[in-house]
């Protein structure tokens, strides 16, 4: 299955209704943790000092990743950069 390196930078509007913000964050957490349990979202790291993360996804296709990302509750407030990954000839794994 293809691996993808995904950087997500979040920019929630400061004037977003606090209740909407809290609900969106709760749904985002539940959705992302479900994907982690399924083995599709295999790594999740915070970028220090930013509201950003670097993630590794292990999915069937770019189309599946597209659907996953578009369904993130925080998607409307994100800038996302996707890099497809492949094995390296010098890797011992």
Task: Spell out the domain ranges in the chain.
Answer: 18-51+67-75
Burial class of residue 57 (count of CB atoms within 10 Å of its CB; 0-12, 13-18, 19+): buried
pLDDT at 2: 87
d(CA 89, CA 74): 37
- What pLDDT band is residue 77 in, cutting at 50, 70 and 90? very high
Residues with Cβ within 8 Å of residue 82, at least 6 apart in sequence: 4, 5, 6, 65, 69
| pTM (two decimals) | 0.91
31-53: pLDDT as tens digits: 999 999 999 999 999 999 999 99
% of the chain residues with pLDDT over 90: 90
pLDDT at 1: 73
Decide: 65 and 4 in contact? Cβ < 8 Å: yes
Bridge partners, 69 (sequence order): none
- What pLDDT band is residue 3 in, cutting at 50, 70 and 90? very high
Burial class of residue 59 (count of CB atoms within 10 Å of its CB; 0-12, 13-18, 19+): buried
């Amino acid at each position: 299955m293809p691996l993808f390196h995904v950087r997500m930078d979040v920019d929630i509007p400061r004037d977003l209704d606090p209740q909407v913000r809290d609900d969106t964050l709760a749904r985002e957490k539940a959705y992302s943790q479900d994907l982690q349990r399924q083995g599709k979202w295999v790594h999740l790291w915070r970028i220090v000092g930013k509201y950003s993360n670097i993630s590794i996804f292990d999915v069937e296709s770019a189309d599946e990743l597209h659907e996953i990302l578009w369904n993130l509750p925080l998607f409307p407030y994100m800038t996302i950069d996707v890099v497809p990954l492949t094995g390296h000839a010098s890797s011992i794994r």
